[in-house]
Amino acid sequence: MLKTIVFDMGNVLVHFCHDRMCRQIGDLCGRTGREIQQLLMESGLQWNFERGLISPAELHWQVQELVQQSIPVTELVQAASDIFELNEPIVPVLDSLRRQNYRLVLLSNTSVWHFEFIRDRFDVLDRFDAFVLSFEAGAIKPEPPIFEAALRTIHCEPQAAFYTDDIARYVEAGRTYGLHAEIFTDVPTLCGHLERLGVTVERMTTY
């Protein structure tokens, strides 16, 4: 019997676009989105930010050094973070699971800027009992430390937890730790996965 449901955040709870982030940062400093993608993402700088290996102040400084100009930190945070849209159909699913007293855990590769932006912009995170965040765990999926942190947070045996993520290799990693895990594609498919594991989800006609 399942006790805990573990959700990814990006493209599960909220949709997002890294290309938009790069374009918006580029607009601040006269660079193309492709240039910012190379400087920020292909260099690994963004991923180390999401691992918590560099602080927000350090990222701000490094971006300014890379583009050779000053960027107000508030404008950089806004450009980097205003890239999310709520996946509205998943909200009633979370509410249904909460009413049935399932423990809800977030397991996400994210930065402090993105997490705080989503928390402030949407109330979807209010439904969760606990957060396993890459910038706090010091690792990003599928690296072992973040899954080990998740196992400490689910408060049950792995076999009593279900995990959904839109990235196949993260789902496979979750399975190696004993979690029931399935790729997230859309809300009706998620409900089907849960129902096959004995979890009744109240479906909305808007799905």
How far apart are the C-alpha atoms of 24 and 36, rounded to whole Å? 9
- Tell me how crowded residue 188 is: count the other CB atoms within 10 A of its CB: 12
What SS3 class is residue 133? Answer: strand
Which residue reads 């606990």 in tokens? Answer: 130
In angstroms, rounded to a whole number, what is the distance separating the alpha carbons of residues 46 and 83?
15
Do residue 77 and residue 102 come from a single domain?
Answer: no
Q: Which domain holds residue 75?
A: 18-81
Q: Do 8 and 62 belong together in one domain? A: no
Statement to judge: residues 191 and 123 lie in one domain: yes
pLDDT in tens, 146-181: 999 999 999 999 999 999 999 999 999 999 999 999
Radius of gyration from C-alpha coordinates of the chain: 18
In a domain, 153, yes or no: yes
Q: For residue 202, is it within any domain?
A: no
- 108 and 183 fall within a common domain: yes
Report yes or no on 149 lying in a domain: yes
The tens place of each residue's pLDDT in the chain, 207 residues long, gives 999 999 999 999 999 999 999 999 999 999 999 999 999 999 999 999 999 999 999 999 999 999 999 999 999 999 999 999 999 999 999 999 999 999 999 999 999 999 999 999 999 999 999 999 999 999 999 999 999 999 999 999 999 999 999 999 999 999 999 999 999 999 999 999 999 999 999 865 443
Q: CATH number, domain at 176?
A: 3.40.50.1000
Give pLDDT tens digits for 103-124.
999 999 999 999 999 999 999 9
Q: In this structure, is residue 205 part of a structural domain? A: no
